[in-house]
Amino acid sequence: MSETDLKNNLLPPPRHIAIIMDGNGRWAKQRGLPRTAGHAAGGEAFRRIANYCRTLGVKYLTVYAFSTENWKRSEEEVAGIMRLLGRYLREALADMEKNKVRFRFFGDLSKLSPELQKLCMDAQNRSADYDVQVNFCLNYGGRDEIVRASRAFAADVAAGKYRSEDLTEELLSSYLYSADVPDPELIIRPSGEKRISNFLLWQSAYSEFVFMNVLWPDFSPGDLDAAIAEYHQRNRRFGGT
Ligand code: FPP
């Protein structure tokens, strides 16, 4: 890898990038706006970055849109985020044939409104044959995902489908929301926080983490280039030498 390649990002991008879209609230506060305005700007940043990922040839983009802990926020803020997601999915469904993006949802959707659940299912079903994939983590928690996977495996053991000693890392992976999706090579968290916050706990075992000081609504294609350049500079050894 040469300096020029790094500078121009000529190296292939990671196949799978995951992002914790953090900093919407602070972005709004700095402007004296309600938190929902920060989420709306965060939604715009998501569109920008999802389009850019497609241009770069990133195959999978996973974003943390709503965690199992986010229900603790005010009713108004939760409703605002749900409204934004609903609007986005309605638009995505209308533009489905043009954009050709495959949607998957990681999380327990049963707690969402019936209308939003239906939009999620429609988006997932109608896009199943497309190639570039966006995974929305919605009412998602990494620990919750592993508990659910463990329960489902235990149920299959009880039903006689497996014996407990059949469990391998691959088999457990197949019970996760992310079944069939390769692990993310790169996880980006903007906004200056340096935590994983219950995001993709299993899948991030060997991911490179890039923490950035920009707030998510301000996140630009240039910031993504910088994160990818940083990723390429790391020496990924997977526990070897
Ligand atoms: C974290 O920032 C962000 C969220 C909890 C919500 C993320 C949701 C969106 C970006 C909108 C979703 C819509 C689409 C179309 C993708 P924070 O509120 O915790 O920020 P703070 O730490 O500055 O308070």
Dump pLDDT digits (tens) for 200-236: 999 999 999 999 999 999 999 999 999 999 999 997 6
Within 8 A by CB and 6+ apart from 78, the residues are 70, 71
- Using a 10 angstrom Cβ sphere, with 0-12 exposed, 13-18 middle and 19 or more buried, the burial of residue 185 is buried
Q: How far apart are CA 188 and CA 193, in angstroms?
A: 11
Residue 44: pLDDT band with limits 50, 70, 90? very high
Residue 176: pLDDT band with limits 50, 70, 90? very high
Does the Cβ of 22 fall within 6 Å of ligand 1?
Answer: yes
Q: Which tens digit of pLDDT belongs to each residue from 87-102?
A: 999 999 999 999 899 9
Residue 11: pLDDT band with limits 50, 70, 90? confident
- Is the pLDDT assigned to residue 8 strictly greater than 60? no
If one compares 235 and 43, the residue with the highest pLDDT of the two is 43
Which among 20, 21, 188 is the best mutation to test ligand 1's pocket, defined by most ligand atoms within 8 Å of the CB? Answer: 21
pLDDT at 58: 98
- Mean pLDDT, residues 189-206 taken together: 97
Q: How far apart are CA 148 and CA 72, in angstroms?
A: 21
What mean pLDDT is reported for the chain?
95
- Mean pLDDT, residues 144-168 taken together: 98
Which among 24, 106, 136 is the best mutation to test ligand 1's pocket, defined by most ligand atoms within 8 Å of the CB? Answer: 24
Instruction: State the closest ligand 1 atom to the C-alpha of 28, by its place in the atom list counted from 1.
Output: 23
pLDDT at 4: 53
pLDDT at 2: 54
DSSP secondary structure, 139-195, as one string: EE-HHHHHHHHHHHHHHHHHTTS--GGG--HHHHHTTSTTTTSPPPSEEEE-TT---
pLDDT at 100: 93
Three-state DSSP class for residue 9: coil
C-beta of residue 55 within 8 angstroms of C-beta of residue 186 = no
Pick from 20, 18, 16: nearest CA to 194? 20
Does the Cβ of 190 fall within 6 Å of ligand 1?
Answer: no
Cα-flanking dihedrals φ and ψ of residue 92, to 5°?
Answer: -65, -40
pLDDT at 5: 58
Residue 239: pLDDT band with limits 50, 70, 90? confident
Q: How far apart are CA 125 and CA 102, in angstroms?
A: 9
Q: Which residues are catalytic?
A: 22, 70
Instruction: State the closest ligand 1 atom to the C-alpha of 77, by its place in the atom list counted from 1.
Output: 18
- Is the pLDDT assigned to residue 199 strictly greater than 80? yes
Does the Cβ of 175 fall within 6 Å of ligand 1?
Answer: no
- Mean pLDDT, residues 52-57 taken together: 96
- Mean pLDDT, residues 49-69 taken together: 97
Residue 240: pLDDT band with limits 50, 70, 90? confident
Instruction: State the closest ligand 1 atom to the C-alpha of 29, by its place in the atom list counted from 1.
Output: 23
